[in-house]
């Protein structure tokens, strides 16, 4: 490994945000998953959470997606299980979801430990999930089309999370714990 | 047409921003073009500009993309032609492009008449185009991946443009000229 490559791996790990994550509800198009993981990496997300659609994609492997080299993918059996695990770990859970209680995505705090839930390409966020989360956030839409592509909505919201965290200096100090940091460095350096 | 539908068409036209636009340089994947146009509609863009790749997509029709119902697509023969036309009409031209002179995308003014140039999926923005534009803007990336998907980068930058314009009340007054407004309403109402 070149010194430049080593420095780049370290720099990336120095900025990882272990307390910022995504949770996808039955998102199934590989290109959407790939774009979500790519954007997650770019804002410093270390691990994402996913609940696959039961019917088809049970054996969808992380590796098959091709974009999980830099971001860990944690698969859960159900949305209630994933959400309660996140809540027990102290995360706020925000769903990107249109509803009567939805607020503008810029009005919530992404500098606290938090997870952003994204809904299925066709069906969106389920009613059960909508009930379980802390907040519903929306990106305002001024046109005729009713929703963004899911990876676009996620990117707009995550750019705001990145802005808030950068303003507070959260990318300027190492946030991963030492064990995770060095294990990840080892794995990235010896694929 | 229902009264609700009529109201929605009017509401959308009331918020259209004729002086905010996109210009794509040889972007060729239909799903990227579709996502770009969908996002453009959502931030109130009325017309986008495109230069197709010469080799393959000469006869790529607007209609084939399926997402141009609400946003006009203006095709140009070359990037220099498109850029000088925009500049002559008083637009600032910003390229989403990594370079030594690039600035953070949040530091430029999108409330003036302006066009955002997006580059080809593989080759990015050409050197000639980079020379011709007013500014290069980048979305900071904190991870291992070197660039966003083009529709993701566009969405993050356009969300900032939308934020700036909303803060200045530019969505609260009709910005389209009357002829364009009523012609568009007529076309949308009688497809
Ligand atoms: C294509 S949308 C699903 C649309 C679905 N018909 C619905 O009504 O929810 C897929 C996901 O993208 C996210 N999304 C899309 N546009 C959004 C917006 N403007 N604000 C917040 N989330 C959005 C949501 O998580 C949504 O579940
Ligand atoms: C996939 S990228 C092209 C990458 C190409 N290899 C390069 O070096 O330019 C396609 C387009 O998306 C836009 N883009 C992607 N990531 C960006 C970022 N972080 N900041 C600004 N624009 C970006 C640019 O317009 C770029 O030309």
Give me the mean pLDDT over the B50-70 stretch.
63
- pLDDT for A55 equals 58
A12 lines ligand 1 (CB under 6 A): no
Kindly report the nearest CA distance between residue B66 and chain A, in angstroms.
12
Cα B154 to Cα A168: distance, rounded to the nearest angstrom: 25
Which residue in A has a C-alpha nearest to residue B156's C-alpha? A156
Q: How confident is the model at residue A1 (pLDDT cuts 50, 70, 90)?
A: confident
Which ligand gives the minimal distance to the CA of A27? 1
| Interval A35-77: pLDDT, tens | 999 999 999 999 999 998 765 555 555 444 556 789 999 999 9
CB-based contact B143 A12, cutoff 8 Å = yes
Average of per-residue pLDDT values in chain A: 93
Q: Please report where in the chains the tokens 């997650």 appear, as a residue.
A: A40
- pLDDT for A63 equals 41
3-state class of B83 per DSSP?
helix
| Closest of A191, A133, A156, A171 to residue A18, by C-alpha | A171
Residue A121 burial by Cβ neighbours in a 10 Å radius (0-12, 13-18, 19+): middle
- State whether the Cα torsion A140-A141-A147-A152 is positive or negative: negative
Cα B30 to Cα A16: distance, rounded to the nearest angstrom: 33
3-state class of B126 per DSSP?
coil
| pTM metric for this prediction | 0.95
| Interval B18-36: pLDDT, tens | 999 999 999 988 889 999 9
- Tell which atom from ligand 1 comes closest to the C-alpha of A150: 12
Question: Looking at the predicted structure, is the pLDDT value of residue A122 above 90?
Answer: yes
Cα B49 to Cα B143: distance, rounded to the nearest angstrom: 31
By the 8 A CB rule, do B154 and A159 touch? no
| Interval B112-169: pLDDT, tens | 999 999 999 999 999 999 999 999 999 999 999 999 999 999 999 999 999 999 999 9
Q: How confident is the model at residue A190 (pLDDT cuts 50, 70, 90)?
A: confident
B44 lines ligand 2 (CB under 6 A): no
- State whether the Cα torsion A14-A62-B153-A22 is positive or negative: negative
> In sequence order, what are the residues at sequence separation of 6 or more whose Cβ sits closer than 8 angstroms to the Cβ of residue B176?
B13, B16, B18, B46, B184
Cα B84 to Cα B133: distance, rounded to the nearest angstrom: 9
By the 8 A CB rule, do B120 and B53 touch? yes
A82-100 residues labelled b (16+ CB within 10 A) or e (exposed): bbeebeeeebbbbbbbbee
């Amino acid at each position: 490994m070149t010194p430049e490559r080593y420095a780049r791996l370290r720099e990336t790990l120095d900025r990882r945000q272990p307390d910022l994550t995504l949770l996808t509800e039955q998102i199934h198009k590989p290109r959407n998953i790939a774009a979500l993981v790519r954007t997650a990496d770019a804002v410093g997300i270390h691990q994402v959470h996913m609940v696959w659609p039961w019917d088809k994609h049970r054996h969808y492997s992380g590796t098959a997606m091709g974009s999980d080299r830099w971001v860990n993918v944690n698969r859960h059996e159900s949305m209630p299980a994933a959400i309660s695990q996140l809540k027990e770990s102290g995360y706020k859970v925000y769903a990107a979801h249109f509803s009567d209680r939805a607020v503008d995505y810029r009005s919530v705090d992404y500098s606290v430990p938090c997870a952003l839930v994204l809904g299925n390409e066709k069906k969106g966020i389920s009613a059960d999930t909508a009930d379980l989360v802390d907040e519903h956030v929306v990106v305002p839409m001024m046109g005729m089309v009713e929703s963004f592509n899911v990876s676009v909505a996620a990117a707009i919201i995550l750019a705001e999370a990145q802005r808030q965290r950068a303003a507070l200096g959260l990318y300027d100090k190492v946030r991963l714990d030492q064990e995770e940091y060095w294990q990840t460095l080892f794995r990235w350096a010896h694929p």
